[in-house]
Structure formats: structure tokens, C-alpha cells
Chain A
């Protein structure tokens, strides 16, 4: 923590930057550029999803009925709430309210934990029902079983990649909680909190795309004739 006699800038301004504003701008642009790369990363999977859904609509429609709609919806709610708590954390940091900041960060962590817990349950459930692609794949009641594994591969690939991003977020969140508790972030400088907020919102948005594609589409068709 900066002592009263040392200007704050000297503690947090890195030597190659001319001033705080340049440093903050650089961090912000950097994080947005990084998120663009993440969009391209997930983009490849979305492309594969659309290509195969278009090629095998019957298989995808029936396989997507195997996802648990209520768990998916619950998870969506949980994740949106965690984005809210994260936004509140950033707001608290901007107001210099250390205790609130820590509280909201912890809330975000807990909500994220609920999400991952539900996901783990879903994965386990799929494993038990042999809906994991591979040598032992069996899809009960799936239409066009030859192409059904494609849906499940994409399900695991996309949600798995998303979950990995959440786990990385967790690790960073823990570090931020510890640092916040020590008072490292002030109203004047809390850039890491803001940057992490951007990342967390991005992870949330990816889920908001995944949920309709994997859980909602073709739910009304109870399988084709």
C-alpha cells in the first residue's frame, strides 16, 4: 500500500509508460484485443456446429433433446448473476469500498462455482448414459445415430472450452480476492479488477450463445416422425 508520502503513480506506474492514462489505455486496448482473439477461438467451434447442424438436422435435433433444459437454464441464470456481482465489484472498487469489493468478488466466485458444479453433474450424467463420443457411445432414442456423436462432440468441446476459461477465471479471481483484501486496489487505480471484469463478462456472453444452440434449438420438436 502506498504510504502517504509517496505519490500513488510511482507505485503503480510502470517505467516505460509516460503517465497513468497511457498505462490504463494500454491495458484496456490490450484486454479488448485479447477478447477478439477469444472470439476467433470459439468461432471455429461455432462454425463447425453450424456446418454440421445444417448437414444433419435430424441427428442434431434429436441429440439436443438429451441436454437438460432446466439445468442449462439454471446455469444461465447463475452466470448472469455472477456477471452482475462482477460489475458491482468493479463499481465498488471505483468507489474505493474495499469490503464491498471483496464481498462481490467472493460472490462472483461462489456463483461461478455453482455453475461449474452443475456442469460437472451434467457431464457425469452424460457419462453414465454413454452419451460421451468414443468407443462406448450409445444414444438411446437418438435419430440418425451415425451422426449423433457429432452433436455430443461439439457439446463437450464447446462447453469444455468454456469451462476451461471459467477455471482460468477462478484462479485469477482468487488472486484478486487476496489482493483486494490487502487493500491493493483503490478508487484511483483498480485496473486489474476492470480488466478481469471484461474477461468475465466475455465468458458469460459465450455461454449466452452456447445455451440456445445446445439446449433450446429444436426443443419443440419431440424428434421427427
Chain B
């Protein structure tokens, strides 16, 4: 969907919660820079004229020590610029601290970059390419990954960008403050059509956004899609609900601390989920065997995001959301509760032991369960 060409603007639209503070800091910086540039330029031109060599001016007097200078001046013109620039540091750091901490109840939208397009997935199932519809005045968090090389999701009107990396999730958040359409640019060189990897953010009123969402995309929500992948790939065979299966319990686990076999611990987040699926032997949960097969090559990046959303949807420690999920998606959850996967689709797993209870982390004799 191509938009009308924009008219010339010296500053981009100020369309997010960050824009005013970034613009304010920039104004401070422009004033300081202009002041010092003009000061230096003025001094040099002034001295060049005032102290120009005149005919008949003799040679300068001999100098005695190895240095002419003024300690006071040196200190002054070191400390004052340092002080003025540390203001820039502190102000900028404070902006970035805010930018790096998405508010807890942000609306999460997934972005996958791929040469040379942006694939957006909304939790409710809506999908778009090169366009991002968002409601105004809501905190929006983008969780992003790349299918190939490094990209960068940049919205000048929001004054924010973040690199989009393969094999990792990065985040960027903003609160749009003005309804309208704003450029999306890829801002990390990614090959032939880098300058074509652009799009539009459509900031809409809350009602318009709900209407747009309701149109959907014909698929179920991401969590629903993820649940069907969970079944197809046989995950539920080992990851059973009550936690006494061959594999750690996933219900209510997302967001919690996980104790690993080597004594360290990790937070159950998107990155950990992804790593556990693709490199299951990298971090083993305390008390479980090293038997999970890898699903490298069996899941796409988009599929991975759906699985993550499904696992997130498996409840929080309070149990209340779990109940709610069960009620809102009755048919799906009932099926996953019993988990009888189709045998032919199950990936091969080596013969595994079934421990009755979790063992202590430091085991002395590995018993041939290595893969």
C-alpha cells in the first residue's frame, strides 16, 4: 500500500512518547554546538585579522622555558566542556533507560525481518507485511528477530530503532501519541534491496484498531496456532501437564526462574524457549536427562513465535489466567490436556529413562543417555 509522497519537513513528525525528549535533547545539543563552533570560528577569524603580520614587524622575542601556556585556561576549557557534555550524557542515558524497559502491560507485537520485507504478527492472529497497525496512546512492544542477516526496525517519527538479529530476540517499545502514518525504514544494511525494505506504521484510534483487528487474517490467534504446532511436533508427549513426564513442566513456567543442572539458573523467556527448542542440550533443567531432540530445521522463525505465544499462554503461577484460557479456548486446551500425538509425526527420541522423582543435579554416572 503506497502512501502519498510527504511534503518537505525539517523535523520528522513528533509521534511517540520519546519524540519530545529526544527533540529537546537535540535542541540543547544544537545550541551548545552552534555556540562553540561560532565561538571558535569567530576567535580564529578575529585573531587572524587583528594579529596579522604587518610589514616591518620584527622577529619575536626569544623564549626561555619549554612551554607557554596558562594552567587556568587549560582547566577551564577542559572542565566546562566536560560539564556541558556530561549533561548530554546523563540526559541521553535517561532516555535510553526508559527505552530499554518496556512497561509490563505493553501490547506485544512480533516482527520478523527477512530480506527484504517486514513480517508482522499480532497476537490475535492478524498478520501484515511491511505495515504495522497500532492503537494510539497504548504502550507497544515489538519483539523482533531476523530470518537471515541483521536488519534494523527504525521509525523516525517515534525516534526509536533497534537492530533485528538472527538467532536472537531484540525488543523496542514506544507509545504512539498521534494518529497518522509514519515511515518504517530498515536501518542496518542488508544487501541488494536494503533501501526497499521500508513500510508504514498506521497509528489508529482505539476503536479503529479494534475494528481492524477484527478483520483478522483467517488464521487463529498465535497461541492457537502455536498449540497446534505443539501437538504436531509431539512436544506434549514429554512435556505433560502435571510435570511428571520426561520433560520439565511448561504450565505456568514462562517468566519464572529455572534451575539448571550445572547449578546456574536462567529466566524462562523467549530466548530461552527458542534455545531449548533448537539447542536442547545447551541448558538442561536440574533433575532431567539430556534427552530432548533438536527441532532445528523443523520449525520456521514464525512458527517459533507461535510456539512461544502458546507456551506463554499456558498460565501464570496464580493459576487464574490458566483457568481463563481453558474457558476461552475450550476445545483446543482439552485436546492438549490429553496429548496423544500422532506417532508418525513424532520426531525420533532415544530410549529414555523415566525417573520417579527429580534427581540431584550432580550425578556421578551418566548412563548412556547421551545424544
Interface size class of A (residues with CB under 8 A): 10 to 19
A168 to chain B, nearest CB (A): 36
Residue among A56, A222, A225 making CB contact with B261, cutoff 8 Å: A225
* C-alpha spacing A122/B120, complex, angstroms: 50
Judge whether A147 is part of the interface by a CB distance below 8 angstroms. Answer: yes
From B281, B283, B284, B290, name the one whose CB has the most chain A CB atoms within 10 angstroms: B281
**Min CB gap A96→B, angstroms:** 46
Known contacts: A223-B370, A225-B284, A225-B366. The answer to whether A146 contacts B262 by CB under 8 A is no
Interface string of B275-288 (1 = CB under 8 A from A): 00011011110000
A133-185 residues at the B interface, CB under 8 angstroms: 141, 143-147
Residue of A nearest to B261 (CB): A225
Chain B CB within 8 A of A192 CB: no
A145 and B281: CB pair below 8 A? yes
Known contacts A58-B281, A146-B278, A147-B279; decide if A225 and B296 are in contact (CB<8 Å): no
- At the interface, is chain B mostly helix, strand, loop or mixed? loop
Binding site for A on B (CB under 8 A): 261-262, 278-279, 281-284, 289-290, 294, 296, 361-363, 366, 370
A146–B370 Cα distance when bound, in Å, is 14
Give the distance to chain A from B336, nearest Cβ to Cβ, in Å. Answer: 28
Contact of A146 among B284, B289, B294, B361 (CB under 8 A): B294
Task: State the CA gap A67–B322 with chains docked (Å).
Answer: 49
B290 touches A146 (CB 8 A): no
Which chain B residues lie closer than 8 Å to A143 at the CB level? 281, 290, 370
Besides A141-B370, A223-B370, 19 more A-B contacts (Cβ < 8 Å) are A57-B262, A58-B262, A58-B281, A58-B282, A58-B284, A143-B370, A144-B279, A144-B282, A146-B278, A146-B282, A146-B296, A147-B279, A147-B282, A222-B366, A224-B261, A224-B262, A224-B290, A224-B366, A225-B366
Whether B281 contacts A144 by the Cβ 8 Å rule is: yes
A147 to B278 CA separation, bound complex (whole angstroms)? 11
**A225 and B289 in contact, given A58-B262, A141-B370 (Cβ under 8 angstroms):** yes
Interface residue ranges, A against B (CB under 8 Å): 56-59, 141, 143-147, 222-225
**Closest A residue by C-beta to B281:** A144
Task: Give chain B nearest CB distance to A16 CB in angstroms.
Answer: 28
Provide the bound-state CA to CA distance between A147 and B296, in Å.
12
State the main secondary structure of chain A at its contact with B: loop
Q: How far is the CA of A56 from the CA of B366 in the complex (A)?
A: 20
For A57, the closest partner residue in chain B by CB is: B262
Would A225 and B363 count as touching, CB distance under 8 A? yes
Taking a contact as CB atoms under 8 Å apart, the answer to whether B284 and A56 are in contact is: no
Chain A residues with CB under 8 Å of B284's CB are 58, 224-225
Say whether, besides A57-B262, A58-B262, A141-B370, A225 and B282 are in contact (CB < 8 Å): no
Q: Which residues of A contact B262 (CB under 8 A)?
A: 57-58, 224
Interface centre among A57, A59, A146, by most chain B C-beta atoms within 10 angstroms, is A146
The residues of A that contact B282 with a CB separation of less than 8 Å are 56, 58-59, 144, 146-147
Which residues of B sit under 8 angstroms from A141, Cβ to Cβ?
A: 370
